[in-house]
Chains A and B, each alone.
Chain A
Amino acid sequence: MTDRPHLAVIGAGPAGLAATLAAAGHGSRVTLIDSAAEAGGQFYRQPATELHARRPQALHHQWQTWERLRDGLHNHVKAGSVQHLTEHHIWFVERLPRGFAVHALLGPEQQDPATVHADAVLLATGGYEQVLPFPGWTLPGVLTAGGAQAMLKGTLTVPGRRAVVAGTGPLLLPVATGLAAAGVEIVALVESADPRTLLRQSRTLAAHPGKLGEGVLYTGQLLRRRTRTLYHHTVVEAHGTDRVEAVTVAALDAEGRVRPGTERRIPCDTLAVSHGMLAHTDLAESLGCRLDGTHVHVDEEQRTDVPGVWAAGEATGIGGSGLALAEGHIAGNSAAARLADTEPDPGEWAAAAKSRTKLRQFATALDRVYRPPAHWTEQVTDDTVVCRCEEVTAGAVREAVGALGAGDLRTVKLLTRAGMGWCQGRVCGPAVAGLAGCALTASRRPFARPVPLGVLARAGEESAQ
């Protein structure tokens, strides 16, 4: 068995699971590597086993799809065709003369190393949320909408009792309905998108009745709970001293500016906020894969431009779980065929390819609807912390840009330390780019997460042998 070609799939969310099942089904030996204790990724994040949840489906939709993925993985693991490595936090994928070495840190502690060798790698690294700053966004009780959802799905806990869900994007509705079902009072849903833009995209969106149905379902649930929903509004400030106590929201004008005089204060103990998603591209970048803007470039077979490296799901462009499943399926099929030295037959994944085309169109249409307010930077006061790790204010960033002439993220970082902290600019990158008036570019981090120096030294010795 061990002489069969070996594919390492990185990430056990929808894309990674679909890829694993496709590749293993076509005779590849697959090692599925993921940082969580259980498969599912963020979308299908499961409650910890010890919580013994008998009805986890109450926290999810598309549960049948999850059951199919979960059971498929289970059967392949039992048959020995797939090895599932949990709690492996990958910090680097190394290109070797033949194949690849996937370097990971074990467990939640992330002190001890593990290395997996493979003939090819498939990056299904997913994405994370973008949140743009506003006064008060560093107060405890202000968190990402996806973070609130992850804590609910994974640990069955909620951040507070009275929440405002705000920002923009298709994630806000499921987060609001999920929190409401778990007993949180949603005092307002604040979406910056203009419903008129939604109408302009209605032809493309209407081509996806299933997707629209999800939205209608969530909206219906919120209506039944009489949740106040404010479209074309934005949060301008979160108030409190040691915890958020209220938010001020305001209406937007046609240009995306706050309309003076429309501000109103809403008491709450939680603000769950999201301004869209960003792709995890660190591993692809350090492998030398070509990026298109902030996501990994792939061809029709989901191959990157580095031989032996495939990518699928949010890493190749934000599009949701359905698109991730289609891309993963195609990538897994292609990788299995090419690892067996055969030419893949695209006819085998015709349905997935069709679905991929339609869902990419849908994602593009959503992207035109769900945008942060065009002039969001005007609401960011000089004393607002922008880089949460290094506590760099908007004033400091503006000084670096205005007085010192910084025109890109790297120069702002060198002058202010914004982006130099623990999160390595993942959180503040979009904000600094907005304030500096430059594009958000890939940051070329050498490693995908902090690595103990001892581990780094030993990894170097091993590779030199």
Chain B
Amino acid sequence: MTSPLDLADAHPGPAFTVTLDGRRIEALPGQTVAAALWTAGVASWRSTRGEGRPRGIFCGIGVCFDCLVTVNGRPNQRACLVPVAPDDVIRTQEGTGHDD
């Protein structure tokens, strides 16, 4: 099967490790947090304030704020905009992200 990396003939640097809720996942230099989570097969990383429903990427360009996530202790980061960095501690954001 073709992958997008093959399609664009991409040769990123070596993968590094980050964690999502304590689980180790691999990420590539140049990826956003959302891209790393998608690559790891994760579609949602926030539960809403009211109904506690899961959310992930919706608009993909920073407009909708649905993909909010907690990165290195800072809640309300847009996963579609924030680049992923080695050893990032990514946590599913519960509600406002300020109740931990």
Contact = CB atoms under 8 A, between A and B. Distances in A.
Interface string A31-62: 00001000000100001111111111011000
Please tell me the size bucket of the interface on B.
35 or more
Looking at B12, B64, B77, which has the most chain A CB atoms within 10 Å of its CB? B64
A151 B34 CA distance: 9
B73 interface: no
A155 B30 CA distance: 7
Given A157-B39, A243-B43, A146 B60 contact: yes
Contact of A151 (B2, B38, B43, B54): B38
B contacts with A: majority SS:
loop
Interface of B: 1-5, 7-13, 28-32, 34-35, 38-39, 43-44, 48-51, 53-66, 68, 77-78, 80-83
Nearest to B33: A108
A257 to B, nearest CB: 27
A149 to B, nearest CB: 8
Looking at A56, A155, A158, which has the most chain B CB atoms within 10 Å of its CB? A155
25 contacts: A35-B62, A47-B10, A48-B31, A49-B30, A51-B28, A51-B29, A51-B31, A55-B7, A55-B9, A141-B56, A146-B60, A147-B61, A147-B80, A150-B60, A150-B61, A155-B30, A156-B4, A156-B5, A156-B10, A158-B4, A159-B57, A183-B3, A183-B7, A388-B58, A422-B64
A391 B48 contact: yes
Interface of A: 35, 42, 47-56, 58-59, 108-109, 128-129, 138-144, 146-152, 154-160, 181-183, 242-243, 388-391, 421-423, 426-427
Given A50-B13, A151-B34, A155-B30, 5 more contacts: A48-B32, A150-B80, A151-B57, A182-B4, A388-B66
Q: Which 10 A-B pairs have the closest CB atoms?
A: A147-B60, A50-B30, A422-B65, A48-B30, A155-B35, A140-B44, A55-B9, A53-B8, A51-B30, A140-B43
Contacts of B1: 183
B26 to A, nearest CB: 13
